[in-house]
């Protein structure tokens, strides 16, 4: 019985660590937004544009695969900041294989070191 308890005490933190790892590439989201619609994703990248007032606004982030807009009601990071974002994908429209208006409704973001 004690052996099984020790296994679970070790296994639970490992599972939590592994489930929190990994970011989705922005290009993967914009290439097939229907696949990610209403799902929570984690992305990271550099802020290329930002706008907001009174802790509400939006910003665009870019990784090595593409750009996506993020809608926020928690404040917006400044242009040039490196951020990790968690949020829900909102699908825009797809015309001739290109996605327009696909955004992430931010759940939270964290500014990372440069």
79-101: pLDDT as tens digits: 999 999 999 999 876 666 666 68
Please give the residue that has the higher pLDDT: either 32 or 15: 32
Work out the percent of the chain whose per-residue pLDDT is above 90: 51
List the beta bridge partners of residue 61.
47, 68
CB 47 within 8 A of CB 84: no
Quote the CA–CA distance of 84 and 110 in Å, as a whole number: 5
Give residue 48's pLDDT band: very low, low, confident or very high (50, 70, 90).
very high
Quote the CA–CA distance of 105 and 90 in Å, as a whole number: 7
Quote the CA–CA distance of 19 and 72 in Å, as a whole number: 24
pLDDT of residue 1: 47
pLDDT of residue 112: 85
Give residue 22's pLDDT band: very low, low, confident or very high (50, 70, 90).
confident
52-68: pLDDT as tens digits: 877 788 999 999 999 99
For the chain, domains (ranges, CATH) are 23-112 (2.40.50.140)
Give residue 18's pLDDT band: very low, low, confident or very high (50, 70, 90).
very low
| Burial zone of 26 (CB within 10 Å; 0-12 exposed, 13-18 middle, 19+ buried) | buried
């Amino acid at each position: 019985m004690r052996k099984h308890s020790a296994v679970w005490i070790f296994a639970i933190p490992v599972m939590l660590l592994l489930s929190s790892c990994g970011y989705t590439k922005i290009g993967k989201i914009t290439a097939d937004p229907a696949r990610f619609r209403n799902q929570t994703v984690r992305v990271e990248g550099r802020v290329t544009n930002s706008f907001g007032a009174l802790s509400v606004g939006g910003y665009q982030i870019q990784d090595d695969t593409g750009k996506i807009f993020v809608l926020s009601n928690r404040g917006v990071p400044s242009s040039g900041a490196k951020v990790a974002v968690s949020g829900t994908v909102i699908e825009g429209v797809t015309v001739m294989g290109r996605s327009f208006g696909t955004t992430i409704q931010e759940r939270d973001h964290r500014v990372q070191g440069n």
